[in-house]
Structure 1
Amino acid sequence: MRNPVRKQVMWWGIAALVLLLTLWLLGQAVLPFIIGAGVAYLLDPVADRLERAGLSRTMSVVLITFIVVLAFVAIVLLVVPILFRQASALIEIAPQMLDQARVFIDARFPGVIPHAGGLQQTLTDLQATIGEQAGRVASTVLGSVRGAIGTLALLVIVPVVAFYLLLDWDNMVASIDRHLPREHASVIRHLAAEIDDALAGFVRGQAVVILILGTWYALALMFVGLPFGFFIGIMAAVLSFIPYVGVLIGGATAIGVALFSFWGDPLWIGAVVVIFAIGQVVEGNYLQPKIVGGHVGLHPVWLLLALSVFGALFGFVGLVMAVPMAAALGVLARFLLARYRESALYTGQPEPPEPAQPILVEMVPAGTVADRLRAARLASDRARSRQHIDIMREDLNRRERD
């Protein structure tokens, strides 16, 4: 007998509520496991390809783990210190850049910034605030990141969790599939495939795009001698997962620094503009179509909303879970919308009733039912007789022992 729709909605709602409460109450505790599961999910196709190439699953996972850990250590030792150092220096020099921009605007366009109004005072206060709070903001951000991720989680828990999950990933997927409710198994598999396509296409594709853009921006800006070019290039590439945000913020920052550093030398200012123009053209015409391809994408507004909501509700854990949750909710929303368009609420036509269960009639020769009843009675009588004989034997044995 099928479960009523209301009961099914209740049980699925309870499951979703339990998941959200778990993330809210145990967010920091389960964060290393969530990151480890994400790493295993992203690396599973690589392990499958190595298996098809002839390696065993264990050797594939060991090789992948060694390469990933080596790359992570190299990034932490070589790249992260440069990023932190240039970010801190850029924050410290920002007040001077704002002051120079204000002086330039006052000299070239005297009436743009009204000195008697509040805008002039606002810019002055902003300049002073940035100068006073630069060190504090940097230390707070770094402290929050350390507290959220944890050195132990990065160095020990995440690699271990990712290793074991990647080793048993195919078995876990098969086990989950066996425990799906049979009535909805096909629908759940279809939705899971769409979520995987959206999430894998976005995350893996965007990771490759960010890697290529980060390499281009960082090296090109360093080549032209732009101060803080490495940090600005990496920042612009990382923010490029939201269309146009990376190039706008990174380009504006780079051009502002170029105007401050290369004033009077328009050739190098133009070189910075050309670098970001080339990056944007290559990203829009080659990287996004060829790498991300035709996967079900995540709308930038939807992605920003997910980052804001999940970040506000669950903190750093919510930011980590925002992209997969946005992909899942987007697929579920499209599925529910398709069901709504098929329902009577949208079409205005009553749904046809489900066909009644057919009545099965078995044709047998005359007297078959009576013979079966007679045989059943005889079998029942024999069973009772054997049971009575067994009871009498037990009584006789008990008396002999007594």
Structure 2
Amino acid sequence: MTRIAAGLLVIAGLYLAQSVLIPIAIAILLSFLLAPVADGLERFYLPRIASVILVGVLSLTLITGVASLLVTQAYEVADSLPKYRQNIEERMRFFTGDEPGGVIDKATKTIKKARKEVADENKRKQQQQAAAESDAEPADDGPLSVVIHDPPPTGLDLLRTYAGTILGPVGQAALVFLFVIFMLFQREDLRDRLIRLMGPDRLDVATGAIDDAGSRISRYLLMQLIINVTYGLPVAIGLWLFGLPGALLWGLLAALLRFIPFLGPWLAASMPIVLSLAVFEGWYWPLGVIGLFVALELFSNNVVEPWLYGSSTGLSPMGVILAVVFWSALWGLVGLAVAIPLTVCLVVAGRYLPQFEFFTILLSRDPALTSAERFYQRLLAGDQEEAEDLAHDHLERHGLMSLYDRVMVPALHLAERNRHAGQLSADKVQSILEVMTAIVEDMGERQERTLDSHKPGDSPPSTNNDYVVLCLPARDAADELTAIMFAQVLRATGVTVETGSMRALSGEVVARVDATATALVCVSALPPGAVSHARYLCLRLASHDASLPILVGLWDVTGNLERMSARLTEAGANQVVTTFEDGVDRVRRRLSSLARISD
């Protein structure tokens, strides 16, 4: 409840202080966009103050030039409209239903006639009721009506009204410009102060978060600028070829309005389309203008934006929608324009600071669950079919070793951890093991069919077939299942492998080692309790034959691996690995060295 109250308080503060926070937010975004330009000027040995002033002057010149061009073009369009008065009147008659003889005209007349009949009937009833009341009551002159007229506004009133309307945006723009200049001039100092706020003992985390957010926002703004220019330029050229008045105006507006997500492109397209209906006779050219915007939108959304954006923002599609809705509801049209960059900052903060992890989970493009967690969740839900689909899909895309290393072994580890914590019933554990065993057996059958499909003349994938590797479980069913998985991965590389059972007694295990002339023993152990279980088996094997090579697989283990390896080495283990990939590499190296010695 405390966090919810704090969140509501922050939202209220953002809303109430928007007159100050909006200029700061816009200034921060412009600083991200202009900082690389200032850095580039400083590389040419310009002093900091000179580079910042030059960037500010160039920015003001560009903004003033674009604004004056927009105003000039708007006046030209307004001056040209009287030439199309007749066509505009015809369009208005068509859309308002005033065109005689048409379907709209007939429907409009029918509706008007029905409304007139109803109005006449109501008026007749009111007159009858009023006449009856006047006969029943004596005449009364009633009160006199008084009308108050406001005096015409004076020049001072007009100045006060229009000055407030004009000076408000001008003052906001001046405040933004002032913030941008100071942020560019003291950008390193502001960065250091922000790092200090996160804590002096978290310099690495704070530096990573600031660098990540800065690079993502700078790239987003730069790519957005490139996309908007490559969109507005074809709009201006296309409308000029169509002969639409103010083609340059509509191209500039199209480029500027696309900074506003979702709403901007619609606004950019609606104005030229409406003007084309007023200017051109017939429907051919207006449909051509509509087709131009549709084609450019499709090309920009499906080709240019995926190519330039990539994953620069790190936001999911749902995250973009939520960001736009939230910030537009909070700050209006300005919030709509700054929604994406501000949300990117929150998502990046969640990657480095646990307090903001909520935003990363909810809004980022990253999967909410890993492949192993999704697989385990399906097992918990009893959805065997979807769990098998996930396993087979990962197998086709990444192979058997990746399936076991990244999906099934970590999922089995999660199940074992929950079992030891008492969070899973015995029936649920048994159900999970049965499903995973069925998937592993299916993988084994696929492997056998693949090996049988090789022709006798085909060369084997490995030359280590003369040596036998014995995979043994350290203790329980989970260890046995991982031993079978590791054996399948080894067999896929051409290694001759045999597996042991968790039900075998220690004496039976030792006897089997002697009977198979084992070149290497792989002890498979899964946390929790992996080290103690594997250590006990290593002691039994080493006490029987101290020269026996033992490889211990502590699958998906976390913690102090060096300390664990030391304990297992004392018990007789030669090597310790944590992944199937590393284990296969160690086994192949061992067998290759044995092959060279025998040669």
TM-score strictly above 0.5: yes
Gaps of 5+ in 2: 116-161, 351-357, 378-413, 422-527, 530-557, 561-599
CA contact (8 A) 1:83 1:230 kept: no
Choose which of 159, 162, 169 in structure 2 pairs with 1:150.
169
2:29 alignment counterpart:
38
Relative to total residues, which structure has the larger helix share, 1 or 2?
Answer: 1
2-structure distance, mates of 1:83, 1:304: 33
Where do residues 320-359 of structure 1 align in structure 2 (5 Å cutoff)? Answer: 321-331=338-348, 332=350, 333=358, 335-336=360-361, 341=369, 349-350=417-418
Residues paired across the two proteins, number = 321
Amino acid at match of 2:324: L
1-structure distance, mates of 2:341, 2:167: 19
1-structure distance, mates of 2:264, 2:328: 20
Encode CA deviations 1:324-356: one digit per residue, 9 max, x unaligned. 33223444357447797489x975645989989
Choose which of 42, 50, 54 in structure 2 pairs with 1:63.
54
CA contact (8 A) 2:261 2:337 kept: no
CA drift at 1:45 = 1.5
CA contact (8 A) 1:40 1:165 kept: yes
Where do residues 6-25 of structure 1 align in structure 2 (5 Å cutoff)? Answer: 14=6, 19-25=10-16
CA RMSD of aligned residues (A): 4.9
2:181 alignment counterpart:
163
1:313 alignment counterpart:
330
1:100 aligns with 2:119: no
Encode CA deviations 1:262-310: one digit per residue, 9 max, x unaligned. 22483x4465356436634653566425543441354565434433322
Amino acid at match of 1:28: S
CA drift at 1:241 = 4.9
1:73 alignment counterpart:
64
Choose which of 198, 205, 220 in structure 2 pairs with 1:202.
220
Structure 1 range deviating more: 102-111 or 226-235: 102-111
Gaps of 5+ in 1: 1-5, 122-142, 357-402
Classify the secondary structure of the residue corresponding to 1:296: coil
Residues 50/278 of structure 1: CA separation in 2 closer, same or farther (3 Å cut): farther
Amino acid at match of 1:172: L
Residues 240/34 of structure 1: CA separation in 2 closer, same or farther (3 Å cut): closer
Aligned-pair identity (%): 22
Classify the secondary structure of the residue corresponding to 2:198: coil
Classify the secondary structure of the residue corresponding to 1:226: coil
2:194 alignment counterpart:
176
Amino acid at match of 1:152: G
2-structure distance, mates of 1:265, 1:49: 51
1-structure distance, mates of 2:266, 2:79: 21
Residues 205/256 of structure 1: CA separation in 2 closer, same or farther (3 Å cut): same
1-structure distance, mates of 2:106, 2:212: 52
1-structure distance, mates of 2:319, 2:246: 32
1:221 aligns with 2:239: yes
2-structure distance, mates of 1:305, 1:107: 49
CA drift at 1:47 = 1.4
CA contact (8 A) 1:251 1:276 kept: yes
Could you tell me the TM-score, scaled by structure 1's length? 0.60
2-structure distance, mates of 1:300, 1:63: 38
CA drift at 1:221 = 1.5
Where do residues 184-199 of structure 1 align in structure 2 (5 Å cutoff)? Answer: 185-199=203-217
CA contact (8 A) 2:223 2:309 kept: yes
Residues 148/217 of structure 1: CA separation in 2 closer, same or farther (3 Å cut): farther
Encode CA deviations 1:222-245: one digit per residue, 9 max, x unaligned. 443214545544444444457886
CA contact (8 A) 2:227 2:304 kept: yes
Choose which of 276, 280, 286 in structure 2 pairs with 1:258.
276
2:125 alignment counterpart:
none
Could you tell me the TM-score, scaled by structure 2's length? 0.43
Amino acid at match of 1:72: I
Relative to total residues, which structure has the larger strand share, 1 or 2?
Answer: 2
Encode CA deviations 1:19-60: one digit per residue, 9 max, x unaligned. 544422222134333333332222111112222343332222
Rg larger in 1 or in 2? Answer: 2
Residues 225/78 of structure 1: CA separation in 2 closer, same or farther (3 Å cut): same
CA contact (8 A) 1:243 1:300 kept: no
